[in-house]
Chain A
Amino acid sequence: MIRFLTRRILVGVMTLIVISVIVFGLFFAVPSSPAKVMCGKNCDAASIAAVERRLEIDQPIVEQYTKFMKGIFVGRTYAPGSDFEVRCDAPCLGFSFRNSEPVTDILKRTIPVTLSIVAGAAVLWLLIGVSLGMISALRKGTLFDKIAIGVSLVGASMQVFFFGLILLFLLVYTTGLLPFPSYTPITEDPVAWATGLILPWVTLGFLNSAIYARLSRAQMLETLSEDYVRTARAKGLPLRRVYTKHALRAAITPIVTIAGLDIGASLGGTFITETIFGLRGLGKETVEAVGFLNLPIVVATVLLAAVFIVVANLIVDVLYAVIDPRVRLS
């Protein structure tokens, strides 16, 4: 188990290093120099050069990359000895080109928003989606099954911006049942946190639970036709126990994988949901930064999204090994 873990962690770290190199390359791949963007429209060569020196992008690529990575772990000082000397503490990801706000602060502000949205929605879609799918599978062919599958087909084919706006119209503008979505830190006021996020949770949760319902139903049906389920019945186990202990455990395995990856990917930003409900999360911040060529933010958020996915992968691998004893050997 320890060897398995170390190997997976090593692979994860290597992946992140590769991704960081590629992402860092963004600085040089974009057609216009960041210095020009920062400097504004009417800028002469001298001031561009000054900005470049200040941002330390006049140095060789390798040196820049090392400084960038070093900044993440131990912090860095930009343009030491000059008039523009700026200290950036670890984890240093640079400063926003627009208002010189440290990128770390921006992340600290936006991550909790996205995290709250995804956490609530994931609980909803896993609880509702998986149980709906499992029950449908056990009652295959009944009215319940047909309705559940019909609704989930509608859900799976809908889009966040459509469904979300309908909810917004019905629940906020027309009936006033819910306040307009907003983010309050859970530490400040848990009730306001929850009420402010119900709409994004329901929107994202419903659409995803549709997909999870179909997935779980298919998985469960497949598992129910397995030989070991027949064996469990032949032993004389009551059906309830056959389903919960023998079938569910096997059917849930692939769902864990997909859920882990979905959650990891969503943490990187739920741009559409955040935009519709006016929440300043990671996704909205990233897309805006792309629009302004605000490279430090783009690099940081892309890197962060990669970290989420790599970590989610790692967790899924470990969970898989816990659930399925056959994985431990390989």
Chain B
Amino acid sequence: MTAPASAPQAPDTSTGPYLQVNDLRVQFPTEDGVVKAVDGVSFSVERGRTLGIVGESGSGKSVTSLTIMGLHNTKRARISGEILVGGRNVVGMSEEQTRRLRGRDMSMIFQDPLSALHPYYKVGAQIAEAYKIHHSNASKSECRKRAIDMLGRVGIPQPARRADQYPHEFSGGMRQRAMIAMALVNDPDLLIADEPTTALDVTVQAQILDLLEDLQREFNSAIIMITHDLGVVAQVADEVLVMYGGRAVEFGTTEQVMRRPQHPYTWGLLASVPSLHGDADADLVPIKGNPPSLINLPSGCAFHPRCRYAGRNGDLSFTEVPELRQVQERGHLVACHLSEADRKRFYAEDIAPSAGVAQ
């Protein structure tokens, strides 16, 4: 795969996944040492599909998405591996080349729409600007019309009037809709949503997720949904990637990961979600300890200091980094030293009775 020399023209993207990430590593050299924010992560997303990336803060999920968008300072971050967006490798691409992809072929919505929208410019103007930059031939009124169109499509009433308002005049949910309108104004093939519902009221969260699903059907785009909320993942994702300490620890369809999780970290995530069906008085089981320092990852399996099953398989947990390996079920990958039989037994005995979400 060679990067196209000129502005990336759309190569053949009719087959295979639209986004393919191969062995991505992102490191930031600092005075205290090298921060290994992402350490050998691979995944792919097809058009019309949604990949959920789950993990605690500092697990590398946001860094991964910013790297795909090329929003890191390439002088400060050391990036290796491959990120194929519609067949074009973004890693090593010049700023100007990635800039042309940003907003047109791939776009992003952020956690807090109030701070992500510019407070001094009208909402309509901000959306029109996103359109104009990739359609230099479009006239000012065309761009504005397109912006109003998009505001209407994301369910904002009276879009022509709202386009002339400022972000602070919008409610939280409306703001995120406007943000989505801005991200989709150029019909991107890939949409990265970085915790799009975290800053919103619970009642609005479901509306936004529904909207994203509707728009995905309409635009047939690939979506990466980054979240720490397993409820969100259960609702919208087709596949789930669980990240811990900059590495992928479990991957599978939403059904596989939510109903038959095999990694103790995933169990921990599930057990810390309240269940509507279980015992109402049962305490939530948090994952003990804190996420590891990305400068000084624990030896062996990075999760071992917090894992109650560490050491059940000799010293492996402490000495050897577990590889992401296929379990019996097709497409389900887990990076854990426990034997599959043990994992199934521990899950059935310890976790399943009290876990939330998928029960």
Contacts and interface: CB of A to CB of B under 8 A. Distances in A.
Given A230-B110, A325-B168, A236 B116 contact: no
30 contacts: A227-B110, A227-B116, A228-B117, A228-B118, A228-B119, A230-B71, A231-B110, A231-B182, A233-B99, A234-B69, A234-B103, A234-B108, A234-B183, A235-B102, A235-B103, A235-B129, A235-B133, A235-B182, A236-B99, A236-B104, A236-B133, A237-B99, A237-B129, A238-B133, A241-B133, A250-B120, A324-B119, A324-B120, A325-B120, A329-B168
B115 A227 contact: yes
A219 to B, nearest CB: 14
A239 interface: yes
Nearest to A233: B71
A323 interface: yes
Contacts of A250: 118-120
A74 B230 CA distance: 77
Max chain A C-beta neighbours (<10 A), residue from B99, B108, B120, B179: B120
A173 B244 CA distance: 71
Interface in A190-245: 226-228, 230-239, 241
B101 A236 contact: yes
B100 interface: yes
Contacts of B166: 325-326
Nearest to A323: B120
Say whether chain B's binding surface is mostly helix, strand, loop, or mixed: helix
B306 interface: no
Interface of A: 226-228, 230-239, 241, 246, 249-250, 323-326, 329
Contact of A234 (B71, B115, B120, B168): B71
A236 B100 CA distance: 6
Given A230-B110, A235-B182, A246-B118, 7 more contacts: A234-B69, A234-B108, A235-B130, A236-B102, A236-B134, A241-B133, A325-B166
Contacts of A228: 115-119
A223 to B, nearest CB: 11
A236 B95 contact: no
B149 interface: no
Contact of B117 (A231, A249, A329): A231
Contacts of A235: 102-103, 107, 129-130, 133, 182
Nearest to B112: A227
Nearest to B105: A236
Interface string B86-123: 00000000011001111110011010100111111000
A241 to B, nearest CB: 8
B171 to A, nearest CB: 15
Contacts of A246: 118
A22 to B, nearest CB: 39
Contact of A326 (B96, B107, B168): B168
Contact of B133 (A231, A237, A249, A325): A237
B168 A231 contact: no
Max chain B C-beta neighbours (<10 A), residue from A227, A234, A237, A241: A234
B126 to A, nearest CB: 8
A230 B133 contact: no
Contact of A232 (B69, B118, B183): B118
Contacts of B101: 236
A234 B107 contact: yes
Contacts of A231: 110, 116-118, 179, 182
Nearest to A328: B166
Max chain A C-beta neighbours (<10 A), residue from B103, B117, B134: B103
Contacts of A329: 168
B9 to A, nearest CB: 16
A236 B183 CA distance: 11
A120 to B, nearest CB: 31
B66 to A, nearest CB: 8
Contacts of B118: 228, 231-232, 246, 250
A249 B118 CA distance: 10
A250 B102 CA distance: 23
Max chain A C-beta neighbours (<10 A), residue from B95, B101, B133: B133
Nearest to A324: B120
A226 B115 contact: yes
A329 B183 CA distance: 29
Contacts of B115: 226-228
Max chain B C-beta neighbours (<10 A), residue from A227, A236, A239, A326: A236
A241 B126 CA distance: 13
A250 B95 CA distance: 24
A250 B116 CA distance: 13
A73 B129 CA distance: 52
A212 B104 CA distance: 39
Nearest to B183: A234
Nearest to A230: B71
A230 B116 contact: yes
A59 to B, nearest CB: 55
Contacts of B168: 325-326, 329
A19 B160 CA distance: 49
A233 B102 contact: yes
Contacts of B99: 233, 236-238
Max chain A C-beta neighbours (<10 A), residue from B71, B96, B116: B116
Contacts of A234: 69, 71, 102-103, 107-108, 110, 183
A233 B309 CA distance: 44
Max chain B C-beta neighbours (<10 A), residue from A235, A237, A238, A325: A235
B207 to A, nearest CB: 21
In the complex, the 6 A-B pairs of residues with the closest C-beta atoms, listed nearest first: A236-B103, A236-B102, A227-B115, A235-B130, A235-B103, A228-B118
